[in-house]
């Protein structure tokens, strides 16, 4: 008998409640907690089951996407700003070239040579020198042409089509530049072609004939006028870009540091919570095991004394003590199984379950217990069957613990009522008792482990019920009834009629 007892105790890792062995029990259970994946979040950290589980994005990924979005936005803004600046600079340069062309044309048109009715060759030479002088300060001047009544009387090409030069300021002409007309033309020389901007100053000569002075300026003069502002804009753009890059790098380093700090802090908090929870669990188990282990130690001592009598030992007494030892070990094993259920997510396969047979089975199991306590169990179910998705073991465990809790707190002669109401997508199961109710501000704590208002209670029943309901994607809540007593409400999603014959 003693050898069988030792085997049973070794299988269940039980030990006597001395100080050293109790510490070993707590240490062993802490090791068991460390090996149970997801243990600390099994009860306290589980979200509301009825809510859809959110899609969690990694903090690092979210921050990286945010930084990339900021970088793209900053780069796009700089690109748009640069394009706007370039268009503005080109527009200003074009207006500058147009103003310069009008001034040059007006200045040449004011020369006396083009107004004489019979200009001499010396006059045209002076006019040519003036044109070349203007070309020396504005290399964009391509040609100068003078016509009288549509007949060209003077034309001079200043440089080849491929030449280019600087564009300084000129003196204002004597003729109003606003009277100069602007046009476009294409000069050709063999296979080469050069687009030019023409400026024509029309006037009336001394002899009354219509005369005009036309100059042509290459279009690249606009680009030369644009070169100065464009260089300044490019320098400003590079400076702004460098500033943004430096600021971006600093922000990235700050974000990385904050992320690292947040991740380390979260790991530290999670570790502290796990250790604190493990300590609470170990203390709870040590507390719950103290009485059965004391009883077990006493029974073993009495059993040893009885067997030491040899042939004088009473077999009835030995059988009684062995039965008590077996009952104590079964109680400790049941507590271990309850903790094991709480510490692991459900591995049972979800399948369509009819709720009515589950409720009826639970009522049959608790019938004797209710009768012994003098409490009536009243069950009110709808006529139509109700189907849910989950494990029958989970839903039965939840119902048994809630009904047992209601019976324990109901007075003799009281009634415990279980009623079901169905909605469009869920079934509502209510268990009503006539007990003292729930302490104020304790409707949430009643589902925590080791929370019990009943002397001798382990505080695991409602925690097991909550875990079982959540394994079926449901939720459970507790409240006080206005007429007295407590009500426990379980809301579980339905799946319609999924019976084998449907």
- pLDDT for the residue numbered 166: 46
Strongest mean pLDDT among 38-42, 135-139, 259-263: 259-263
Strand order in the sheet with 486-493: 376-380, 415-422, 426-432, 486-493, 475-480
Buried residues in 115-148 as b, exposed as e (16+ CB within 10 A): beeebeeebbeebeeebeebbeebbbbbbbbbbb
Res 420 pLDDT > 80: yes
- pLDDT for the residue numbered 376: 92
**In this structure, what are the phi and psi dihedrals at residue 374, rounded to the nearest 5 degrees?**
70, 30
- pLDDT for the residue numbered 13: 35
Query: pLDDT per residue over 133-182, tens digit each?
Result: 777 767 777 788 888 777 787 888 876 655 544 444 444 445 677 788 88
- Which of 247-261, 404-418, 435-449 comes out lowest in average pLDDT? 435-449
Q: How many helices (H) and strands (E) does the chain have?
A: 9, 12
Residues of the chain with CATH 3.30.450: 96-226
- The tokens for 245 are 């890059």
- pLDDT for the residue numbered 431: 93
CB 359 within 8 A of CB 396: no
What is the topology classification, in CATH, of domain 351-493? Heat Shock Protein 90 (3.30.565)
Q: At 489, is the pLDDT very low, low, confident or very high (cuts 50, 70, 90)?
A: very high
More confident residue, 262 or 370: 370
Query: pLDDT per residue over 218-240, tens digit each?
Result: 777 766 666 767 777 777 778 77
Res 33 pLDDT > 60: no
DSSP letters spanning 276-317:
HHHHHHHHHHHHHHHHHHHHHHHHHHHHHHHHHTGGG--HHH
Residues 443, 488: Cα–Cα separation, whole Å: 10
Instruction: Count CB neighbours of 92 within 10 A.
Output: 13
DSSP label at residue 192: E
Query: pLDDT per residue over 355-408, tens digit each?
Result: 899 999 888 888 888 988 899 999 998 888 889 988 888 888 889 889 988 998
Cβ neighbours of residue 154 closer than 8 Å, sequence gap 6 or more: 114, 124, 127, 128, 144, 145, 146
CB 366 within 8 A of CB 377: yes
CB 113 within 8 A of CB 94: no
Query: pLDDT per residue over 162-173, tens digit each?
Result: 554 444 444 444
- pLDDT for the residue numbered 378: 92
Residues 287, 459: Cα–Cα separation, whole Å: 11
Res 339 pLDDT > 70: no
Beta bridge partners of 189: 192
- pLDDT for the residue numbered 454: 57
449: phi > 0 → left, psi -120 to 50 → alpha, else beta; which? beta
Residues 320, 312: Cα–Cα separation, whole Å: 16
Instruction: Count CB neighbours of 426 within 10 A.
Output: 19
Nearest-5° Cα angle at 265, 264 to 270: 100
Residues 228, 168: Cα–Cα separation, whole Å: 12
Res 430 pLDDT > 90: yes
- pLDDT for the residue numbered 281: 66
Average pLDDT, the chain: 73
CB 217 within 8 A of CB 197: yes
208: phi > 0 → left, psi -120 to 50 → alpha, else beta; which? left
Query: pLDDT per residue over 286-318, tens digit each?
Result: 656 666 777 788 888 888 888 888 877 788 888
Q: Is 208 exposed, middle or buried (0-12, 13-18, 19+ CB in 10 A)?
A: exposed
What is the topology classification, in CATH, of domain 96-226? Beta-Lactamase (3.30.450)
CB 130 within 8 A of CB 187: no
Res 190 pLDDT > 50: yes
| Nearest CA among 297, 353, 342, 302 for reference residue 458 | 342
- pLDDT for the residue numbered 291: 63
pTM of the model: 0.41
More confident residue, 126 or 3: 126
Res 35 pLDDT > 70: no
Mean pLDDT of the 47-64 span = 54
Residues of the chain with CATH 3.30.565.10: 351-493
Buried residues in 11-36 as b, exposed as e (16+ CB within 10 A): eeebbebeeeebeebbeebeebbeeb
Mean pLDDT of the 318-331 span = 84
């Amino acid at each position: 008998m003693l050898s069988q007892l030792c085997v049973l105790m070794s299988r269940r890792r039980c030990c006597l409640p001395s100080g050293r062995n109790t510490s070993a029990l707590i240490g062993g259970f802490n090791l068991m907690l460390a090996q149970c994946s997801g243990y600390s979040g099994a009860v306290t950290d589980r979200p509301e089951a009825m809510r859809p589980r959110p899609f969690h994005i990694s903090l690092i990924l979210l921050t990286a996407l945010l930084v990339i979005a900021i970088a793209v936005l900053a780069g796009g803004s700089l690109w748009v700003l640069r394009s706007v600046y370039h268009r503005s600079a080109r527009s200003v340069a074009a207006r500058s070239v147009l103003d310069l062309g009008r001034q040059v044309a007006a200045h040449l048109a004011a020369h006396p040579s083009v107004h004489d009715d019979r200009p001499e060759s010396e006059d045209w030479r002076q006019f040519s020198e003036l044109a070349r002088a203007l070309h020396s300060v504005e290399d964009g001047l391509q040609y100068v042409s003078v016509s009288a009544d549509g007949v060209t009387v003077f034309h001079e090409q200043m440089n080849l089509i491929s030449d280019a030069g600087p564009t300084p300021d000129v003196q204002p002409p004597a003729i109003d530049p606003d009277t100069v007309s602007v046009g476009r033309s294409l000069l050709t020389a063999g296979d080469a072609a050069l687009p030019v901007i023409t400026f024509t100053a029309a006037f009336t000569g001394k002899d009354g004939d219509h005369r005009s002075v036309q100059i042509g300026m290459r279009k690249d003069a606009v680009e030369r006028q644009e070169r100065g502002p464009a260089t300044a804009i490019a320098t400003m753009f590079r400076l702004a870009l460098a500033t943004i890059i430096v600021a971006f790098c600093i922000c990235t380093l700050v974000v990385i540091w904050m992320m690292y700090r947040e991740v380390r802090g979260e790991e530290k908090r999670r570790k502290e919570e796990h250790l604190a929870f493990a300590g609470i669990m170990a203390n709870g188990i040590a507390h719950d095991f103290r009485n059965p282990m004391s009883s077990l130690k006493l029974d073993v001592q009495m059993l040893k004394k009885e067997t030491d009598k040899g042939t004088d030992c009473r077999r009835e007494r030995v059988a009684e003590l062995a039965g008590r030892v077996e009952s104590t070990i079964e109680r400790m094993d049941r507590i271990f199984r309850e903790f094991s259920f709480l510490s692991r997510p459900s591995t049972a396969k979800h399948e369509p379950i009819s709720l009515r047979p589950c409720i009826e089975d639970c009522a049959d199991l608790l019938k004797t217990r209710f009768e012994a306590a003098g409490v009536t169990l009243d069950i009110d179910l709808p006529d139509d069957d109700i189907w849910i998705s989950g494990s029958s073991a989970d839903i039965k465990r939840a119902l048994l613990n809630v009904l047992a809790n209601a019976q324990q707190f109901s007075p003799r002669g009281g009634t415990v009522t279980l009623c079901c109401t169905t909605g469009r997508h869920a079934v509502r199961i209510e268990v009503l008792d006539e007990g003292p109710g729930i302490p104020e501000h304790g409707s949430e704590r009643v589902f925590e482990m080791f929370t019990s208002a009943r002397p001798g209670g382990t505080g695991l029943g409602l925690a097991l019920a909550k875990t079982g309901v959540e394994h079926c994607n449901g939720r459970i809540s507790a409240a006080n009834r206005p007429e007295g007593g407590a009500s426990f409400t379980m809301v579980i999603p339905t799946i319609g009629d999924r019976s084998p014959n449907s």
